[in-house]
Structure 1
Amino acid sequence: MTGNNLPVDALGPRTEIGSGGQGTVYAVPRTINRSWPVAYKAYNTATLATLDIGALEAMVGYLDALPYAVGRDLCDRAAWPAAVVEEHSTVTGFLMRRIAGEFKPRMRWPAGYREALGQVQFLLNNDQYLAARELPVHDRFRLEFLRDTAETLELFHGLQIAVGDLSPNNLLFSLSSRPRCFFIDCDAMRVRGRSVMTAVETADWQVPAGEELATDHSDAYKFGLLAIRLFAGDQSARDPDVLSRVAPELAALASRSLSTTPGQRPKPADWLAPLDAAIPAASLSLPGQPPGHVVWTAGAGTGTPPHGYVPVPGYPPVARPPQSPPRLPVATRPPARPGYRRGQVRALVTVALIGLGVWIAGPTLAKLTSTGGAPANPGAPAAVATATAAGTGTATGPADDGATQAAAVQRVLEASRTDRARIGGAVSQVAGCGDVSGGLAAFQQASSGRQIELGAARTLDTGALSGGGAVAATLVEALQHSLAADDAFVRWAQAVRDSGCSDASLNNADRHTADAESHQATDAKQRFISAWAPDAQRYGYPVPTEPDI
């Protein structure tokens, strides 16, 4: 921990605005640079137990060392952590900006019109789906989106940042502003070879087996998948030829991106010139309209949606700022740059996490810090933070007694409860042919959460519990089967969506696999509960039921 962390009490009243497998996001009554609303991501205890706190603090400090123009460019494109938050000298989360309105497009739903978070998964659907949602997505927009995403990845890689889990769940789109892309979940990125949390991959977006995760090469592979699936209107397509209709050179780049030899894949920068060449001649025909028919162009004509596609003249800029990464020791917090107060560039970053870009100016940080007082031990090294028991503020060594081991088990269970609840609703959405894409996204998010929980469960030491090794072994077994079920549900939901909810897809082999894995998970959960119940009661934790895991 560092003396620059903010006490949670200084944030003021919090209003929950979302939750997921890693924790809860709150709106807080603060603004950055007197302009942008702020959000606070509070990790749950299971996630905190797996974090490299020093890496999180290094992400915040990294911005201070960048030239101002480069830091601003980074924060225009990603929700970078801007300030670490702590309670009783224990890190609990970080601040970021809330998502801006341009990344919440207005769509039509069965119950009427409403705004939704602009996750790219909405774009990876066929024209019938896009027309039903009244999303004005045409080939020119697709190319502009790819161009801005490639440029953003070029910036990241120049700064030694790898996205890692590049997927349609943590990438947003804008129909009305440039750049048209925005990355969230930045705390999952790898910065200069260091990660806050264990790398995971979204189902159906994995790199070839055995390849290192979270590298420039893995980003290049997934960018190729993104290009293919954006033009195929399909969330699992892999045929590069779909890009031939707009530019053969793009199809060739996509084909090279899927090479099993990482070094043969094109860099994001290699896509820029071909995309720039293809954009001017790209079609403006909208989904659901006959070929060549344009309802509106450049803000003229009729039928322009309130949040429809808006061309941005003069974009991209003629020149972008240099991207050389700062040369700093990983463990050293950089000094303030001459001419800027510490945190002035960081201000740009706080704008961005679950929301999108809010910047915290120096005076704002100073006010937040002074309100809650200094941390109890500002000189404690970052290594201490990673060994701190979540919620206790007490540094501990390896789990060596029943109470400590039981607390570790409980943290995994608390995280798994959220993902289990998400799955139940998703099954109903898909089986009832309702919001199938929403159900698919829930399955993908649950799968990512299960991977984290399974990793945490595999590190459990339960030798001091009365249930002994059976507690950890049965929990790992239950989570393995649950993860396999989640991944099968992902494939099932994709088939249901792609077939228009046909009877065959609703009862396909993937659905049967998901059900079979769920039954095996239930059996393992029952055995886990039997092994865990005596210790749960002994140490004051509720005995879980099967739906809780």
Structure 2
Amino acid sequence: MADPQLPFDVAWSQLGPLEEINKGANGRIHRLKDRPAVVFKEFNTAVPAAPLRQLIQIRRQAKRGEDIKDMTAWPTRVVFDDRSGASSAANQAIGVLMPLIPPGFMQKIDLPDGSATVKPRDIQHLLFAADVARRRGVDVPADHDVRSRMLICERLSFIVAALHYENLVYGDLSVRNVLYQTDPRPDVYLVDCDAARPNGASGGVRQQNTPDWDPPEHDDDSGGLRHQSLETDRYKLGLFILRCLAPGRGGASNRDVDASVGMLDPEGAGLLRSALDGGPADRPTAGTWTRYWRQHLRLGPLPPAR
């Protein structure tokens, strides 16, 4: 059983009734019936608990900790297994508690058979032709509404900058892990944050590397990225900016900086070229992108940290 002095741990038996609401490659998502705004992400395989506790502590002490709380599904508790016969020890986590995705980032999507489903509104819808998304009932910016797309880029740059300020690598910045909304204002929300880790650390939950979002750094034999870093996050942020501003056929795999010609002013075009065509040390930081967007869009300085 876990040490009762560890403030971030909770036993499986304390979760109460669970309702499975989703599943993926890394595990299953259960809503806590007694606490419907909280979900339990149950891992397929137990992982070391210490790195997850560290993530919770870093968020609580972060300069932009409240922004991270508001804009990410950040872990709030480490779940250990106290069931009879369970083999998980106190230093192993079978999952984490985290907030339920806010309703503004959920989307009713019309299916080809005439039925509908409700799913997280991930950024893949921003990368294809807008009329394709609209035929499925998905909320996307109006045609020629470049400003809304840039505001989404600013929000993603901001939250990545907040993580990087704490020396945290997000890792799998890709279509499934970044959600967005346009109403009442453009915003983003990051999921799968349990795989974040301090730059250079081995971490606990394995960081994935989604195809078509891989940086130029070499892959290992298993197809996974050998080392994800602040620099690989910066590359993936550049990819999103390019693809968000130049959607359409092939937009989800586009790496051609020239596709953004006419969308950005010379400063922005230079930043994007450095992000995607330069070496790791040349890539603009997320903070540089945030400052650029806020100046370009005349948003003024960032509000103070809460």
The two structures have a TM-score, normalised by structure 2, of: 0.82
Q: Which moved more, 1:172-181 or 1:220-229?
A: 172-181
Determine which of 270, 274, 289 is the counterpart of 1:256.
274
Corresponding residue number in structure 2 for 1:484: none
Corresponding residue number in structure 1 for 2:69: 75
Corresponding residue number in structure 2 for 1:9: 13
Q: Distance in 2 between matches of 1:156 and 1:66?
A: 9
Unaligned runs of 5+ in 2: 83-87, 220-225
TM superposition shift of 1:17: 0.5
TM superposition shift of 1:192: 4.9
Q: Distance in 2 between matches of 1:103 and 1:141?
A: 16
CA displacement 1:369-413 (0-9 Å, x = unmatched): xxxxxxxxxxxxxxxxxxxxxxxxxxxxxxxxxxxxxxxxxxxxx
Q: Distance in 1 between matches of 2:119 and 2:186?
A: 19
Q: Superposition pairs for residues 41-120 of structure 1, below 5 Å?
A: 41-44=41-44, 47-48=45-46, 51-66=47-62, 70-88=64-82, 90=89, 91-110=93-112, 111=114, 114-120=117-123
CA displacement 1:338-369 (0-9 Å, x = unmatched): xxxxxxxxxxxxxxxxxxxxxxxxxxxxxxxx
Q: Which moved more, 1:99-108 or 1:150-159?
A: 99-108
Q: Distance in 2 between matches of 1:129 and 1:164?
A: 29
Is the 2:51–2:197 Cα contact (8 Å) retained in structure 1?
A: no
Is the 2:58–2:166 Cα contact (8 Å) retained in structure 1?
A: no
TM superposition shift of 1:186: 0.6
Q: Distance in 1 between matches of 2:65 and 2:31?
A: 24
Q: Superposition pairs for residues 53-202 of structure 1, below 5 Å?
A: 53-66=49-62, 70-88=64-82, 90=89, 91-110=93-112, 111=114, 114-134=117-137, 135-137=139-141, 138-177=145-184, 180-194=187-201, 195-202=203-210
Amino acid at match of 2:151: E
Is the 2:62–2:166 Cα contact (8 Å) retained in structure 1?
A: no
1:223 aligned to 2:237?
yes
Q: Distance in 1 between matches of 2:3 and 2:240?
A: 39
Considering only CA atoms, is the larger Rg found in Structure 1 or Structure 2?
A: 1
Q: Distance in 1 between matches of 2:28 and 2:140?
A: 32
Cα RMSD (Å) of the superposition? 2.4
Q: How many residues align?
A: 278
TM superposition shift of 1:145: 0.4
After TM superposition, what 4+ stretches of structure 1 lie above 6 angstroms from structure 2?
Answer: none
TM superposition shift of 1:76: 1.0
Unaligned runs of 5+ in 1: 281-314, 323-549
Q: Which has the higher contact order (CA 8 A, sep 6+)?
A: 1
Is the 2:19–2:33 Cα contact (8 Å) retained in structure 1?
A: no
Is the 1:243–1:250 Cα contact (8 Å) retained in structure 2?
A: no
Q: Distance in 1 between matches of 2:67 and 2:185?
A: 12
**Bigger proportion of residues as helix:** 1
1:275 aligned to 2:293?
yes
Q: Cα gap change, 1:172/1:52 in structure 2, threshold over 3 Å: closer, same or farther?
A: same
SS in 2 for 1:42: strand
TM superposition shift of 1:142: 0.8
Corresponding residue number in structure 2 for 1:505: none
Q: Superposition pairs for residues 33-44 of structure 1, below 5 Å?
A: 37-44=37-44
Determine which of 281, 303, 306 is the counterpart of 1:319.
303
Amino acid at match of 2:303: A
**Bigger proportion of residues as strand:** 2
Q: Cα gap change, 1:128/1:263 in structure 2, threshold over 3 Å: closer, same or farther?
A: same
Aligned-residue identity in percent: 26
Is the 1:240–1:252 Cα contact (8 Å) retained in structure 2?
A: no
Q: Distance in 1 between matches of 2:66 and 2:291?
A: 24
